[in-house]
Amino acid sequence: MVPGTVASTDPARERGFALIEVLVSALILALIAMGILAGVEAAMGSSARERARAQAGALAEMDQERLRGLGSAQLAALAANPAPDQTQRVDKVDYTVHSEVAWVRDDTGAGQSCTAGDSQADYLKITSRVTSAIVGKEIPAVTVSSIQAPSVRSFGPSQGTLAVKVVGGDGLAQPNVPVSVTGPRARSETTNEVGCALFERLPAGAYTATLNVTGYVDPSGTQLVTKTATVAAGGTQLVSVDYDQAARVDVTFDTVRPLVPATVISPSRATQLIATNSKSSSPRRWPDTPGSNQTAISATNLFPWASSAHGFYAGACATDALPTRFAGQTNWFSNTPGSRASVQTTPGGVASAVVRNPPLFVRVRKNGATTGGARVVVKRTGSVESPSCSQTHTMTTMSSGDVGFVSWSSSTYDPGVPWGTYSVCAQFTESGVNYATTQTGVAATYPLPVMTTIDVTASGWSNRGTCST
């Protein structure tokens, strides 16, 4: 400004600055108000949560008093058959009260074990849990527990406990398995976290425990399992059951063509599949009795031992056809090709295996010439099973390709048979007359045996005959 002059004022400009000052002041006021309201709301929410927690705690204590006022028999009944949750309305708020009674083995609250010879469960753990729209959602649920110590005699002088222990293929407890018992009293329970189904307060006497869960089996492959036990007054009788989800193994068969210049692997077949396991004293079979020749058989309802593999082989004679009993084959299921038939199963799992059948390395000639189309009857000899296991196969000889060699088919060479020693009878029909010759002591094993040749002379009276089955 030049000295001596008078400053001029712009009214519009002054009004603009005033408006800005008003807007800034309003904004600051709004922010202050929001902060105050947030603080008030937080205080009110905190107060509501504290009131809800306090009310839930009071309801839980009231439920505890109610439970402690019940008799031992009533509490035990609640342990077996829990009561439904109760809803209580306080100050227009609904609270859900959940009451739970469980037997425990000690005052630490641990679940009951299945130790043989124990007395009945020592304690009853009573728990009250309260929730609402706030409690259990915005803040943790309120839970109050206490322990009662009823005596065995409070349930009657002639009562005892039956404990059923369920163990899986891994040797560990199987929880959540339904178990029922029948006898002087019928009851049903589910195994707890340590694999125990405990039936307390049973009248003394003989009982049968039953497990029947779809998809579960015992080591014999049975779903419906029953165990018997006698309950004595004042004590606990233990029954242990191996029970787990069944496994399945799909098995195919192959063999070798032991001909010069090379050994060739080819598909084979079997009438029956057998499984052995070091954990079981009895082998399993599929199907139950030998049927028609099949290129694939499924081993179903296998018990899944975690520490022992199933070894598979073909045949109807479990001992006679077991590969590991033959000279030098103790480790058959550990080495190739036998290891392909050794399978470690898992609960509910599906696996595959390939069984190697040793070849019946036999060539048949008629009047000195290799000839196809012979009728060949193969019988197992030298059985070591008790009672003796006899197995007979009807085969033929190749009409083309490997002409004259014993096979299941005259067109596709498959000499695979179960392990063992056989007598082999070859028969031809010439001008309506049957001629037959038998060779004994023919081995079907590994290492591959030398070739056996059977010569059938189709002439003369002395060679007439048939191969009987």
What would the pLDDT profile of 393-419 be if each residue is shown by its tens digit? Answer: 999 999 998 999 999 999 999 999 999
50 confidence band (pLDDT: 50, 70, 90): confident
Residue with tokens 């295996």: 353
| Closest to 291 in 3D by CA, of 279, 317, 275, 273 | 273
Based on the number of CB atoms within 10 Å of its own CB, is 300 exposed (0-12), middle (13-18) or buried (19 or more)? Answer: middle
The answer regarding whether domain 156-245 maps to CATH 3.40.190.10 reads no
3 confidence band (pLDDT: 50, 70, 90): low
Rounded Cα distance between 279 and 309, Å, is: 9
What would the pLDDT profile of 230-245 be if each residue is shown by its tens digit? Answer: 999 878 899 999 999 9
The structure tokens listed for 428 are 């031809």
The structure tokens listed for 243 are 């029970």
| Coil/strand/helix, residue 311 | strand
Q: What is the pLDDT of residue 41?
A: 56
What would the pLDDT profile of 310-369 be if each residue is shown by its tens digit? Answer: 999 999 999 999 999 999 999 999 999 999 999 999 999 999 999 999 999 999 999 999
Cis peptide leading into 418, omega within 30 of 0? no
- Say if residue 295's pLDDT is above 90: yes
Quote the radius of gyration of the chain (alpha carbons, Å).
41
What would the pLDDT profile of 102-152 be if each residue is shown by its tens digit? Answer: 877 554 455 566 764 444 446 788 999 999 988 888 889 999 998 876 654
Q: What is the pLDDT of residue 389?
A: 87
| Coil/strand/helix, residue 230 | strand
Parse the chain into domains and list their residue ranges. Answer: 65-154, 156-245, 247-356, 362-456
Rounded Cα distance between 150 and 73, Å, is: 9
